[in-house]
Amino acid sequence: MGPPPPDPEAEAKPPSPPDPTPSTFSEPPIPLPPTVQPSPFLSTLRRLNTRIESFSGFEARGIARVPPSERRAPSRLADLQLFLLWFGANLSANNITTGFFGPLVFNLGFMDSVACSIGGCFVGCVSAGYMAVWGPASGNRTMVVLRFFMGYWPAKGPCALNVVLVGGYLTVAFIIAGQILSAVSGGTMGVAVGIVVVAVVCWVVAVFGMFIFHEYERYAWIPQILVLAILVGSAGPHFNADLVSPITDTATLAANRLSFFSLCVYLPNSWAPAASDYNVYYPETTPKPKVFLLTVTGLFLSISFDFLLGIGLASGVPSNPAWADAFATSAGWLLIEGYAGLAGFGRVCGAVVALGIISNCIPGVYSASLGMQVLGRYGQVVPRWVWTCVIVVVVLILALAGRDNLLVIFGNFLALMGYWAEFMVMIVLEEHVLFRWNRGFDWARWEDKKYLPVGVAAFVAFLLGWAGAILGMYQVWDVVGLRVYAHLLPSDAVAGAEGHWEMKQALGPHRKV
């Protein structure tokens, strides 16, 4: 296979003491106001933080820009690393369960589900790939980049939503991992115990930051691709490619297709608010098309494979009583039932699948902790590793509380949260294409409120996008929107996205306010 690709952060060396440039893994602490004297308690906390951040491989850098002097030189191995990051992080069981929604929730046939999942996945991957190009160009994290397009204060709204979005997806991932580990043990291990196991491992890797994260992601995809290939061979004979939808009403069938398509867009598109976070150490001369293609390819190959595998498993449920009983227990049990013909070896494969979810969770925890620092100066004072601890604890509590309602959480809350990422990408795209095509930014002024736009037009467009989405949705809490009058049932964000696009164009001439 050849030597593993080098880590862009591992090769970034801290400067010598006389050099005033901050190190790769740390940044200067934010000073207290002149009138405030540090208390003994605060001094103790600072000493403790300094000791923790001195651990080998620990990343103390928060949201500060990575200057060009700390980037690594371009290489093909570094390009491979970027591809493997996205590919490995998304070969995950929680993505597989998204495929279940086509046949089992929206009552679509096999071919309908495949077509919707592939099309939706591609659209979402393109959106995330576009946002990824700003990492090397700016040296800033995604939510910091958003300040240049939406303004310092309006960008805090999407940042807060991203923290909530990541928390929701992490909750789903923890629950699925717990279900799989419980199924592997034959029910002797409770779902709650499995959730705790995955949360602890995810916390350890995420706390140490990008160095350990890159090392983990560099190799984690290898066992995952092996055990998922074994799952295809074991469960494939029970896939029902002839499955057809029982829905006879044309409007309802069209609505369900659109809803599943939208759900498949949301999952890869949920990476868009964090896509730049993981490549800020690449040189600013890195071609944007290269970053875009590597990101889209890594995302699409892994997520589309997950979707197809999930659709295949779901297609066999109506005709396979054992699979139907397993799915009635949990989504995790259905995954393990696919290994039923392999006896004990199948359970080993199931355990590997469960632990593979960790590789999907680590980037989210990392980005959410950065998002907490972007929200404000007080949040930036708190070290990133502390926010990581807080986020993992909160998600752990949510997962334990909601472990019996997986599909309800996934189908309702997370579909709703998927809307805003589309609006964010549209704002960035229009600003880039219509107003900034031949002009750049001074990326070093990421905290300069006088340089950054006020962002009134972008913020109003963002809110109007939400208004369009609410009118276009049909959810358990909102059944009076346009979808009722169109006689369509489930939710999608198309109406909201279109309304947002038109309103953003109307507000374009007033973008400077």
| CATH, residue 128 | 1.10.4160.10
**Residue 102: inside a domain, yes or no?**
yes
**Residue 406: inside a domain, yes or no?**
yes
Is pLDDT of 223 > 80? yes
**Residue 52: inside a domain, yes or no?**
no
Cα(224)–Cα(91) distance, integer angstroms: 7
| Domains contained in the chain, number | 1
Amino acid letter, residue 331? A
Mean pLDDT of 194-203: 89
Is pLDDT of 16 > 50? no
**Residue 44: inside a domain, yes or no?**
no
Answer for the pair 179, 191: CB distance below 8 angstroms, yes or no: yes
**Residue 481: inside a domain, yes or no?**
no
More confident: 492 or 356: 356
Q: How confident is the model at residue 403 (pLDDT cuts 50, 70, 90)?
A: confident
Q: What is the DSSP letter of 482?
A: H
* Count of all residues that appear for the chain in the document: 513
pLDDT at position 508 is 44
| pLDDT, averaged across the chain | 81
What residues make up the domain containing 325?
Answer: 72-419
Neighbours of 9 (CB within 10 A): 24
Residue 453, classed as helix, strand or coil, is coil
Listed residue (485, 329, 373) closest to 143, CA to CA:
373
| Distances from the Cα of 407 to the Cα of 192, 199, 441, angstroms | 17, 20, 43
Is pLDDT of 510 > 80? no
Q: What is the pLDDT of residues 178-192, one digit of tens each?
A: 989 988 888 788 889
pLDDT at position 7 is 46
pLDDT at position 55 is 57
Dihedral sign (CA 253, 258, 262, 264): positive
Mean pLDDT of 53-73: 74
Give me the residue label for tokens 């959810």: 475
Answer for the pair 62, 24: CB distance below 8 angstroms, yes or no: no
Neighbours of 412 (CB within 10 A): 15
Answer for the pair 362, 352: CB distance below 8 angstroms, yes or no: no
Is pLDDT of 214 > 80? no
> Token pair of 383, please?
């070290």
Query: Angle CA(422)–CA(272)–CA(400) in degrees, nearest 5?
Result: 95
**Residue 500: inside a domain, yes or no?**
no
**Residue 23: inside a domain, yes or no?**
no
**Residue 427: inside a domain, yes or no?**
no
Neighbours of 346 (CB within 10 A): 21
Main-chain dihedrals φ then ψ at residue 124, nearest 5 degrees: -65, -40
> Token pair of 444, please?
């070093």
Of the ranges 165-169, 296-300, 368-372, which is most confident? 296-300
Query: Angle CA(56)–CA(364)–CA(452) in degrees, nearest 5?
Result: 95
Answer for the pair 275, 295: CB distance below 8 angstroms, yes or no: yes
* Entry pTM: 0.82
More confident: 293 or 490: 293
Cα(369)–Cα(82) distance, integer angstroms: 21
pLDDT at position 49 is 67
Q: How confident is the model at residue 317 (pLDDT cuts 50, 70, 90)?
A: very high
Neighbours of 66 (CB within 10 A): 25
